[in-house]
Chain A
Amino acid sequence: MPTGADGPEQVAISGDDDVVRVRQLVRTYAQQTKLSLVDQTKLVTAASELARNTLIYGGGGFARVEEVSDGRRSGVRASFHDEGPGIPDLTLALADGWSSGSGLGLGLSGAKRLVDQFDLDTEVGRGTVVTVVKWKR
């Protein structure tokens, strides 16, 4: 559980119980930032998809969650880091229904639809960082 809303907090992702831990941490921040219930649910759902990607496709890694502000409004930023194989074809990976694994292919594209900002930094052989932000309305 976070001690305050200031600094970023990190959770290792190495098993599927860690996906639950990431969800709980993101929810705590979303509540602290006073996102609406629907926005909390969207952000936590996106975090769940992305944490599972980190685990399954990235071979594990960590998530970092923090409260952010752009001067006008506050929000929650969550990033998902792995040192896995990276994503060779981004367009394909972000297309609905495409999956390299056993998933439904909704992980990345679905998560993107659920948040306000979505950043994907990936390099083949180096790993992937996905960063999402949900702003308070």
Chain B
Amino acid sequence: MERVPILKIGGVLLVSIQIDLQDQSVLALQEDLAEKISATGAHGVVIDISAVEIVDSFIGRMFATIASISRLFDADTVVVGMRPAVAITLVELGLTLGGVRTALNLERGMKILGELGRERRGAVTHFGEFPRDA
């Protein structure tokens, strides 16, 4: 089984999927990411799927699962670089990505994560260090 590498760039973890994903690789990636977010305290995860030729229901569900796991570690997830043919197929398949944030490309994805990170830090400063009502 091939593993998908996870790179750390500042406070963001970058996952660039360059292999034809088998289900075991998908499950391993979920586990590896949870470990890595927990270990690094990353505030964001970018999943680059510009090299991914198909997203079926199993792979699509992975994005939603990763986003949910990341949330538990107070990190945001953005899926970037979806190919047009993949987007059309996903819609026809009937798969919504469970509210996972997407961006056109890596650059925009990083920008979104930067803004979300700033917003969150701003909110904490504004409401005090322990925002009990939040």
A binding-site residues for B, Cβ under 8 Å:
16-17, 19-20, 23-24, 27, 37-38, 40-42, 44-45, 48-49, 52, 96, 103-104, 106-107, 109-111, 113-114
B9 within 8 A of A: no
Instruction: Judge whether B89 and A114 touch: CB under 8 Å.
Output: yes
Stretch at the interface among B39-47, B53-61, B103-111, B121-129: B53-61
Instruction: Judge whether B56 and A48 touch: CB under 8 Å.
Output: yes
Residue tally, chain B, CB below 8 Å to A: 23
A71 CB to nearest B CB, Å:
27
Report B79-115 residues with CB < 8 Å from chain A CB. 83-86, 88-89, 92-95
B22 within 8 A of A: yes
Instruction: Judge whether B53 and A27 touch: CB under 8 Å.
Output: yes
Return the chain A residue nearest B90 by Cβ.
A45
Instruction: Judge whether A106 and B53 touch: CB under 8 Å.
Output: no
Return the chain B residue nearest A99 by Cβ.
B57
Return the chain A residue nearest B26 by Cβ.
A16
Instruction: Judge whether B57 and A106 touch: CB under 8 Å.
Output: yes
From A16, A37, A110, A111, B23 is in contact (CB under 8 Å) with A16
Q: State the CA gap A60–B58 with chains docked (Å).
A: 17
| Contact A44/B95 with A17-B1, A38-B88 known, Cβ cut-off 8 Å | no
Return the chain B residue nearest A110 by Cβ.
B93
Instruction: Judge whether B54 and A41 touch: CB under 8 Å.
Output: yes
Kindly list chain B residues whose C-beta atoms are within 8 Å of the C-beta of A37: 85
From A19, A27, A104, A113, B57 is in contact (CB under 8 Å) with A104
10 closest A-B pairs by CB: A41-B85, A110-B93, A16-B23, A48-B56, A38-B85, A106-B57, A45-B54, A20-B22, A16-B22, A41-B89
Kindly list chain A residues whose C-beta atoms are within 8 Å of the C-beta of B35: none
| Contact A106/B95 with A16-B23, A23-B20, A45-B54 known, Cβ cut-off 8 Å | yes
B61 CB to nearest A CB, Å:
6
Kindly list chain A residues whose C-beta atoms are within 8 Å of the C-beta of B1: 17
| 5 sampled A-B residue pairs with Cβ under 8 A | A17-B1, A38-B85, A109-B94, A110-B95, A114-B93
Return the chain A residue nearest B19 by Cβ.
A20
Return the chain B residue nearest A103 by Cβ.
B57
A38 CB to nearest B CB, Å:
5
B3 CB to nearest A CB, Å:
14
Kindly list chain A residues whose C-beta atoms are within 8 Å of the C-beta of B21: 20
Instruction: Judge whether A44 and B54 touch: CB under 8 Å.
Output: yes
A30 CB to nearest B CB, Å:
11
Kindly list chain B residues whose C-beta atoms are within 8 Å of the C-beta of A114: 89, 92-93
